Amino acid sequence: MNDLQLQLVTFGQAKRLKAAGFNWPCFDYYNANTQQLRWQKSTADFPHYHNRRDDSFSAPSVALALKWARDVKGIYCGITSIMQHYAFFLEGHDGWCIGFDNHDSAESALLDAVLGELEKDFPAADERPVIPANPE
Span 42-56, average pLDDT: 65
Span 49-72, average pLDDT: 86
Choice between 4 and 98, residue whose per-residue pLDDT is larger: 98
Confidence grade of residue 41 (pLDDT, cut at 50, 70, 90): low
| pLDDT tens digit sequence for 70-114 | 999 999 999 998 888 898 988 876 667 888 999 999 999 999 999
H-assigned helices in 37-102: 62-71
Q: The dihedral of CA 59, 12, 119, 87: what is its sign?
A: negative
Confidence grade of residue 50 (pLDDT, cut at 50, 70, 90): low
Choice between 97 and 65, residue whose per-residue pLDDT is larger: 65
pTM (predicted TM-score)? 0.78
Using CA atoms, how far apart are residues 47 and 69, in angstroms rounded to an integer? 19
How many Cβ atoms sit within 10 Å of the Cβ of residue 104? 16
Please give the angle made by the CA atoms of 11, 17 and 22, to the nearest 5 degrees: 130
Choice between 58 and 131, residue whose per-residue pLDDT is larger: 58
Q: In this predicted structure, what is the pLDDT of residue 131?
A: 42
Please give the angle made by the CA atoms of 9, 13 and 18, to the nearest 5 degrees: 110
| pLDDT tens digit sequence for 12-34 | 999 999 999 999 888 888 888 87
